[in-house]
Amino acid sequence: MKVAVVGATGLVGSVMLKVLAERNFPVTELIPVASPKSAGKEIDFKGKKYKVVTVDEAIKMKPDVALFSAGGSTSLEQAPRFVAAGTTVIDNSSAWRMDPTKKLVVPEVNAHVLTASDKIIANPNCSTIQMVVVLEPLHKKYGIKRVVVSTYQSVTGTGVNAVNQLMNERKGITGPMAYAYPIDLNVIPQIDVFQDNGYTKEEMKMILETKKIMGDNSIAVTATTVRIPVMGGHSESVNIEFEKDFDIAEVRKILEQEPGIIVTDDPANAKYPMPMDAHEKDEVFVGRIRRDESLPKTLNLWIVADNLRKGAATNAVQIAEYLVQKGLL
């Protein structure tokens, strides 16, 4: 299979290449794509060198599938051009997520909605992906009424400039700022720009995308998204109100049996998921599973996942794997 990775030299693009190799995706020809300034550079994939090409060159090569991680404006402009050349695009930006004509997919939740006619498939926001993987099996069993989520998001979600800012601050070096404020020894309760309703764009993504992926507009969602000085993954404190009551042991069992979820929940021995545990792993980790004693039929959870992998690259590759498996590519 001829596979293009658009944004191959970026943070998520480089992880996409790593995930494709690790999961033995059937790549017969790799086409790494980046901006003209990166064209001509060489990248290594499974021991072979591949030359980075421009979008125009890549389109001429007619890839079967293109994994995009090059920003919204690039996706809006270039994804239709790839589609016109017969390529299926899986896009990691926010460009197509809320387009009613495009599917927004987390394979564990709603891969079944995909058909051969879906030529641009949207990869959801990183913080939404890890949450819905956990919500879906519980929604099937108990019916979710309302979700309250607060996130603790890694600097890697912003990109390499944010990682550099954090590392520079740790070393006392003055350098370019990815954020309006210092991030080391600080917490920034703003991710993306504020909207008219006082929520940030990231918060609204979580609210709207959850309903779309789970195919249920009746689920009420409210979110507060926060950037913290960590790497390795995003963490989320999630409070879920159900239609039906639940048994904690049964909740644990449901989650333990779900593919793609690892339950780490042993308070007696201080075992719970942390970003350092999720780093470079594809699973979603869940712990601190307990009843909310202030409300009936309500549960508290702590969810952690590597935002560059399950929150971006791995989810995109899993979508491609599903398309191959079902003969849709």
- The vertex-141 CA angle with 139 and 146, nearest 5°, equals 30
Which residue, among 21, 59, 62, has the nearest Cα to 43 in the 3D structure?
21
Do the bridges between strand 284-291 and strand 48-51 make them parallel or antiparallel, or are there none, so unpaired?
unpaired
Contact 152, 127 (CB under 8 A): no
Measured distance CA(135)–CA(108) in Å, rounded = 11
Measured distance CA(306)–CA(170) in Å, rounded = 22
How is residue 289 written in tokens? Answer: 């599973």
* Backbone torsions φ then ψ of 205, nearest 5 degrees: -60, -50
Measured distance CA(145)–CA(306) in Å, rounded = 27
Query: Which one-letter amino acid corresponds to residue 123?
Result: N
Contact 287, 302 (CB under 8 A): yes
**Cα-atom radius of gyration of the chain, to the nearest Å?**
20
* Backbone torsions φ then ψ of 127, nearest 5 degrees: -70, -30
Measured distance CA(312)–CA(309) in Å, rounded = 5
**Can 139 be counted among the known catalytic residues?**
no
Measured distance CA(69)–CA(196) in Å, rounded = 28
**Can 126 be counted among the known catalytic residues?**
yes
Which residues are catalytically annotated?
126, 234
